[in-house]
Amino acid sequence: EAGVTQSPTHLIKTRGQQATLRCSPISGHTSVYWYQQALGLGLQFLLWYDEGEERNRGNFPPRFSGRQFPNYSSELNVNALELEDSALYLCASSLATGIGSPLHFGNGTRLTVT
Amino acid sequence: GQQVMQIPQYQHVQEGEDFTTYCNSSTTLSNIQWYKQRPGGHPVFLIQLVKSGEVKKQKRLTFQFGEAKKNSSLHITATQTTDVGTYFCAGPPSGAGGTSYGKLTFGQGTILTVHP
For B45-54, b/e burial (b = at least 16 CB within 10 A) is bbbbbeeeeb
**Mean predicted confidence (pLDDT) in A23-42:** 92
CATH number at residue A78: 2.60.40.10
Contact assignment for B92 to A102 by CB distance below 8 Å? no
Contact assignment for B104 to A98 by CB distance below 8 Å? no
Residue B84, CB-side half-sphere exposure with 13 Å CA sphere: 12
> CB of A92 within 8 A of CB of A35?
yes
Contact assignment for B99 to A56 by CB distance below 8 Å? yes
Residue B95 binned pLDDT confidence (cut-offs 50, 70, 90):
low
Q: Is the pLDDT of residue A98 over 60?
A: no
> CB of A28 within 8 A of CB of A34?
no
Query: Which residues have C-beta within 8 Å of that of residue A61, sequence separation ≥ 6?
Result: none
- Asked if A109 has any chain B CB less than 8 Å from its own CB, the reply is no
Instruction: Report chain B residues whose CB lies below 8 A from the CB of A48.
Output: 102-103
Contact assignment for B109 to A42 by CB distance below 8 Å? yes
Model confidence pLDDT, tens digit, residues A54-63? 988 999 999 9
Task: Note down the domain range covering A17.
Answer: 5-113
Q: Which domains does chain B have, with CATH numbers?
A: 4-115 (2.60.40.10)
> CB of A80 within 8 A of CB of A16?
yes
- Asked if B110 has any chain A CB less than 8 Å from its own CB, the reply is no
How distant is the alpha carbon of residue B1 from its chain centre? 20
Q: What CA dihedral angle connects B27, B31, B37 and B43, to 10 degrees?
A: -110
**Mean predicted confidence (pLDDT) in A69-98:** 93
Model confidence pLDDT, tens digit, residues B50-73? 999 999 999 999 999 999 999 999
- Asked if B30 has any chain A CB less than 8 Å from its own CB, the reply is yes
**Mean predicted confidence (pLDDT) in B35-55:** 95
Measured in angstroms, the CA of B85 and the nearest CA of chain A are apart by 13
> CB of B76 within 8 A of CB of B64?
no
Q: How many domains does chain A have?
A: 1
| pLDDT score for B104 | 85
Residue B93 binned pLDDT confidence (cut-offs 50, 70, 90):
confident
> Mean of the per-residue pLDDT values for chain B?
92
Residues 54-83 in B contacting A (C-alpha not used; CB under 8 Å) = none
Instruction: Compare all CA atoms of chain A with the CA of B101 and give the residue at the minimum distance.
Output: A98
How distant is the alpha carbon of residue A61 from its chain centre? 14
Q: How far apart are the first and last CA of chain B?
A: 41
What span, in angstroms and rounded, lies between the C-alpha atoms of B104 and B107?
10
| pLDDT score for B2 | 79
Residue A11: closest CA among A77, A73, A64:
A77
Q: Is the pLDDT of residue A47 over 80?
A: yes
> CB of A47 within 8 A of CB of A64?
yes
The residue ranking higher by pLDDT, B30 or A17, is: A17
| pLDDT score for B54 | 97
Return the residue in B21, B47, B103 with the most chain A beta carbons within 10 A, the one to mutate for interface testing.
Answer: B103
> CB of B101 within 8 A of CB of A58?
no
Q: What are phi and psi of A83, to 5 degrees?
A: -55, -35
> CB of B100 within 8 A of CB of B2?
yes
Instruction: Report chain A residues whose CB lies below 8 A from the CB of B100.
Output: 56
Pairing of strands B105-106, A5-7: unpaired
| pLDDT score for A67 | 97
What span, in angstroms and rounded, lies between the C-alpha atoms of A96 and A93?
9
> CB of A5 within 8 A of CB of A91?
no
